[in-house]
Amino acid sequence: MFGGGGIGLMGEVARAARDAGAEVIGILPAFLRHLEPPLKSAEELIITPDLQQRKSRMLALADAFVLLPGGLGTMDEYFEVITTAQLLVHRKPIVVIDVKHYFKPLGALIAHIVAHGFARAEVAALHTFVDTPDEAMRAVSSGRVSA
C-alpha cells in the first residue's frame, strides 16, 4: 500500500514492488488526482475525500510502515504513525531507511523532544532506523519495532 501517486519516489517504489510481484494498493485524496496522477497499474486505487481520511485508511490497512526520504507529506505521515504507536493505537513495525543519513536530523529531533521531557524515552523503541532496504525488509519480516 502506498500514497497512490504515480510520480516521484513513491511511484518508483510502487512500480518496483508491483514488478517484483507485490500487490499494490494506492490511497489517494481526491484533490491530488490532478497534481499527482495515480499509478495506473495499481491493483486497487482508493480515493478518499481528504488527507486525514487517507492517513486513517493507510493506518488501518498497513501491516508495517517503511519511511523513505521525502518532504513534508512524508514527515506528516511519519508523525501520524509514530504518534498513534505512542498512544498504543497500533504495534506495527515502523522502519526508517536512513539513506545517506537523510533522517539523522529526525533521530536528533526525537532525542531532543525526549531530552526536554515532551516524550518518554520509550518512544525510541517505536521505530527502527536502518541503512538499507534489505535491513528494512528484515526488520519488517521480524515484526521488530525497535533497534
> What percent of the chain is predicted at pLDDT more than 70?
91
Nearest C-alpha neighbor of 109 from the set 100, 119, 98, 99: 119
pLDDT classification of 147: cutoffs 50, 70, 90: very low
Mean pLDDT over the full length of the chain: 88
- The grid coordinates of residue 139 equal 526488520
Report the Cα 129 to chain-centroid distance in Å: 13
Write the pLDDT tens digit of every residue in 8-54: 777 888 888 888 888 888 888 888 887 776 767 667 888 899 999 99
The residues spanned by each domain of the chain are: 1-60, 62-147
Instruction: Supply the pTM of this predicted model.
Output: 0.86
What is the dotted CATH code of the domain comprising 62-147? 3.40.50.450
Residue 28 has phi, psi (to 5 degrees) of -130, 130
